[in-house]
Structure 1
Amino acid sequence: MDHGSSPTKVRKSVVDEDFISNLPEALKDKILCCLPIKEAVGTCLLSRSWRYTWASMTELMFRRADFASGNGNADDDTCRFLKFTDMFLFLHNGPILKFGLNTIENEMVSTGGHLSRWMLMLSRNKIKEIQLWTSIRDSYKIPSCFFSCHELEYVYLRACFFTSLQLPPLSKGFKQLRTLRLEYVSVQGSSLEDLVASCPNLEKLSICRLCSKSNINIRSTKLKMLTIEGRFIHLNLHAPYLTSVWIGLELKSDTDGALTARCNFNLSPFIASLSDVETIRFHGQILECVEHEFLILKQPRLFNRLTEISLEINLGNLKQANFALSLFQHAPNLRLVKLKFISRNSVVPTVHFWESLNRDVCLFQNVDVVSLFNFTGSFAELAFLKLLLEDAPVLRKVRISDKGLDKDVLKNLLMMRRASRDAEILIL
Structure 2
Amino acid sequence: MAEVQAKRVNRDRISALPDAILYHILSFLKTEDIVMTIFLSRRWKNIWASVPSLDFCDEENPDTISFSRFIDNVLFFRDSTDIQKFRLHSTSVEDFDRVCGWIGAAIRRNVAELNPSVEYYGDDNEPQIFELPQSVFTSKTLRVLHLWSSFTIDAPASGCFSNLKSLFVFIDRPVTNSMEKLFSSCPVLEDLCIHGNDGMYGDEAVLNFTVSAPELKTLKVDLYTHKHYEKCNFRIAAPKLENFHLSQDPSTDCYLENVKSLVRVTIDLQDHFAGEDCLFFIHGTALLAVISNVIYLSLSAHCLKGCCVPFFDKLSRLELVLYNCYYWELLKELLRRSPKLEFLVIELKDFMCPGASSDHEWSPPESVPKCLLTKIKTVSIRGFKGKLDEMDMAKYLLKNGDILKMMTFHTKDLLRTKEELYKELSMCQWVQRIVKLNFTLTIRMMAFHV
Could you say which residue in structure 1 is the equivalent of 2:83?
A: 96
1:114-133 equivalence runs, <5 A: 115-132=99-116
State which of 219, 224, 231 in structure 2 corresponds to 1:226.
Answer: 219
**CA drift at 1:10:** 10
The C-alpha deviation readout for 1:106-150, integer Å capped at 9, x for no partner, is x53638565433222222221111234678999664532143444
**CA drift at 1:347:** 1.6
**Contact 1:64–1:81 (8 Å) recurs in 2:** yes
- Tell me whether 1:266 sits opposite 2:276 in the alignment: no
Residues 1:31 and 1:246: Cα distance change in structure 2 (over 3 Å): closer
**Contact 2:190–2:216 (8 Å) recurs in 1:** yes
State which of 198, 207, 213 in structure 1 corresponds to 2:194.
Answer: 207
Could you say which residue in structure 2 is the equivalent of 1:400?
A: 411
TM-score by length of structure 1 reads 0.71
Identity rate of aligned residues, in percent? Answer: 21
- Tell me whether 1:110 sits opposite 2:119 in the alignment: no
Could you say which residue in structure 1 is the equivalent of 2:183?
A: 196
Aligned partner of residue 280 in structure 1, secondary structure: strand
Aligned partner of residue 82 in structure 1, secondary structure: helix
Aligned partner of residue 166 in structure 1, secondary structure: coil
The C-alpha deviation readout for 1:301-337, integer Å capped at 9, x for no partner, is 5124x424243x43542xx655444444326244252
**CA drift at 1:88:** 1.2
The C-alpha deviation readout for 1:41-76, integer Å capped at 9, x for no partner, is 234345666443322321112244565xxxxxxx44
Number of corresponding residues: 391
- Tell me whether 1:157 sits opposite 2:141 in the alignment: no
Aligned partner of residue 355 in structure 1, secondary structure: coil
State which of 368, 371, 377 in structure 1 corresponds to 2:378.
Answer: 368
Q: Distance in 1 between matches of 2:329 and 2:37?
A: 64
State which of 288, 299, 302 in structure 1 corresponds to 2:313.
Answer: 302
Q: Distance in 2 between matches of 1:410 and 1:209?
A: 48
Q: Distance in 2 between matches of 1:9 and 1:314?
A: 70
Could you say which residue in structure 2 is the equivalent of 1:182?
A: 169
1:31-46 equivalence runs, <5 A: 31-45=25-39
Query: 1:293 is aligned with what amino acid?
Result: C
TM-score by length of structure 2 reads 0.68
Query: 2:323 is aligned with what amino acid?
Result: N
The C-alpha deviation readout for 1:316-364, integer Å capped at 9, x for no partner, is 42xx655444444326244252435231224225665642342252348
Return 52-61 or 377-386, whichever deviates more.
377-386
Residues 1:203 and 1:28: Cα distance change in structure 2 (over 3 Å): same
The C-alpha deviation readout for 1:195-236, integer Å capped at 9, x for no partner, is 333223333322233546334433334333322222573343
**Contact 1:397–1:424 (8 Å) recurs in 2:** no
Aligned partner of residue 319 in structure 2, secondary structure: strand
1:44-123 equivalence runs, <5 A: 44-45=38-39, 50-64=44-58, 67=61, 75-76=62-63, 79-94=65-80, 95-102=82-89, 107-108=91-92, 110=94, 115-123=99-107
1:282-301 equivalence runs, <5 A: 282-283=299-300, 287-288=302-303, 292-296=306-310, 300-301=311-312
**Contact 2:209–2:235 (8 Å) recurs in 1:** yes
| Structure 2, unaligned runs of 5 or more | 225-230, 252-271, 430-434, 445-450
Q: Distance in 2 between matches of 1:410 and 1:241?
A: 51
Q: Distance in 2 between matches of 1:243 and 1:82?
A: 43
Return 267-276 or 257-266, whichever deviates more.
257-266
Residues 1:330 and 1:166: Cα distance change in structure 2 (over 3 Å): farther
Return 221-230 or 347-356, whichever deviates more.
347-356
Q: Distance in 2 between matches of 1:188 and 1:381?
A: 49
Query: 1:280 is aligned with what amino acid?
Result: L
Residues 1:291 and 1:397: Cα distance change in structure 2 (over 3 Å): closer
Could you say which residue in structure 1 is the equivalent of 2:262?
A: none
Could you say which residue in structure 2 is the equivalent of 1:347?
A: 356
**Contact 1:204–1:224 (8 Å) recurs in 2:** yes
Query: 1:343 is aligned with what amino acid?
Result: M
Aligned partner of residue 308 in structure 2, secondary structure: coil
- Tell me whether 1:250 sits opposite 2:246 in the alignment: no
